[in-house]
């Protein structure tokens, strides 16, 4: 039986880092997957600003579950040298904050690129990034997302098998229906490599809905994890139920549509957390 622990992308609640931490305490969540801090990506913060983040986390009694980085979210013909420099900076930040887990992606194709050429380039770039991470004791965790090489469950499994466990999976079942992919068998296909999970949901029309309301098969997946895992398993709450500061840098907002409305980011996030906890309670 799994011990499910909630973490959060708290920048969906509010841009203010202080408000994020206060909100997490109010919600009874003691972990954060860091991404946006005071309206800026954490990767752009100075050492002094990172030290201030660390002090605030310690004061609030909140630990980091992962670094929600943008690594791998460029085209394969982009500026890879700058991207490697960015990974180095993120690892420096991770060392400063005491977090060795990095969420990342598997690149977009260059314009007009054939799948076979795209695959070869992705594998080469990922291998370089993995070597950098391994030299410093970091774990790279791949999130499936629209438009990147690892968009479907099958393409993610192919990547994982090719790297023989060096690369881990951040399972985001909600992103599969958002991309028009079937999420029903994703966990079964990827479970040997799953490190942790993001929780969002999406219906058959590609519209974002609260957790458990769509086609992400969250209830079924959580039940499977509960059977398979003995020990802690982290679920990062990332419901995307409202537009929030920094979303435009993460996704094409023209693609994101909502079926439910909320007064503010906290109300939306609280609703998502409540629905997740209901699903978890039903497992017992």
pLDDT per position as a tens digit, 144-182: 999 999 999 999 999 999 999 999 999 999 999 999 999
Q: What is the pLDDT of residues 90-121, one digit of tens each?
A: 999 999 999 999 999 999 999 999 999 999 99
Instruction: Please state at what angle helix 47-60 crosses helix 80-97, rounded to 10 degrees.
Output: 40
Residue given tokens 């997302």 in the structure block: 145
- Return the ∠ at Cα 193 (arms to 196 and 225), rounded to 5°: 55
Q: How far apart are CA 181 and CA 105, in angstroms?
A: 17
Distance CA 211, CA 271 (A): 9
Task: Determine the 3-state secondary structure of 228 from DSSP.
Answer: helix
* β-bridge mates for residue 135, sequence order: none
Contact (CB, 8 A) for 35 and 42: yes
| Range 240-264 average pLDDT | 68
Q: Using 50, 70 and 90 to split pLDDT, how confident is the model at 254?
A: low
Residue with tokens 């192919």: 158
Whether the per-residue pLDDT at 245 is higher than 70: the answer is no
Residue 238: pLDDT band (50, 70, 90) is very high
CATH of domain 2-282: 3.20.20.150
Locate the domains of the chain by residue range: 2-282
Determine contact, residues 41/246, Cβ cutoff 8 Å. yes
Residue count (the chain): 284
pLDDT of 243 reads: 60
- H helix runs in the chain, sequence order: 17-27, 47-60, 80-97, 115-135, 153-163, 175-178, 186-190, 218-228, 265-282
Please tell me the distance from the alpha carbon of residue 190 to that of residue 256, in angstroms, as a whole number: 26
Task: Report whether 216 contacts 202 (CB < 8 A).
Answer: yes
């Amino acid at each position: 039986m799994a011990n499910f622990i909630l973490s959060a992308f708290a920048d969906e609640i509010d841009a203010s880092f202080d408000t994020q931490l206060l909100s997490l305490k109010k919600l009874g969540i003691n972990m954060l997957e860091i991404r946006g801090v005071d309206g800026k990506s954490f990767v752009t913060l100075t050492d002094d600003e990172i030290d201030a983040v660390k002090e605030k986390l310690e004061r609030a009694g909140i630990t980091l579950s992962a670094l929600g980085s943008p690594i791998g979210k460029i085209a394969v013909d982009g500026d890879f040298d700058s991207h490697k420099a960015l990974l180095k900076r993120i690892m420096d930040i991770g060392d400063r904050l005491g977090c060795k887990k990095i969420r990342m992606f598997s690149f977009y194709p260059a314009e007009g690129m054939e799948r076979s050429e795209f695959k070869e380039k992705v594998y080469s770039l990922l291998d370089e990034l993995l070597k950098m991470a391994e030299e410093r004791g970091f774990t790279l965790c791949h999130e499936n997302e629209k438009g990147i090489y690892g968009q479907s469950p099958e393409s993610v499994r192919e990547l994982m098998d090719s790297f023989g466990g060096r690369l881990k999976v951040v399972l985001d079942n909600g992103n599969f229906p958002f991309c028009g992919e079937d999420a029903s068998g994703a966990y079964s296909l990827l479970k040997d490599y799953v490190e942790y999970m993001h929780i969002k949901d999406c219906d058959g029309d590609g519209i974002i809905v609260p957790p458990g309301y769509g086609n992400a098969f969250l209830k079924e997946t959580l039940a499977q994890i509960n059977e398979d895992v003995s020990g802690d398993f982290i679920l990062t709450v990332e419901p995307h139920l409202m537009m929030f500061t920094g979303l435009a840098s993460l996704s094409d907002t023209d693609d994101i549509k909502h079926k439910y409305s909320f007064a503010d980011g906290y109300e939306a996030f609280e609703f998502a957390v409540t629905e997740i906890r209901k699903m978890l309670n039903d497992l017992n």
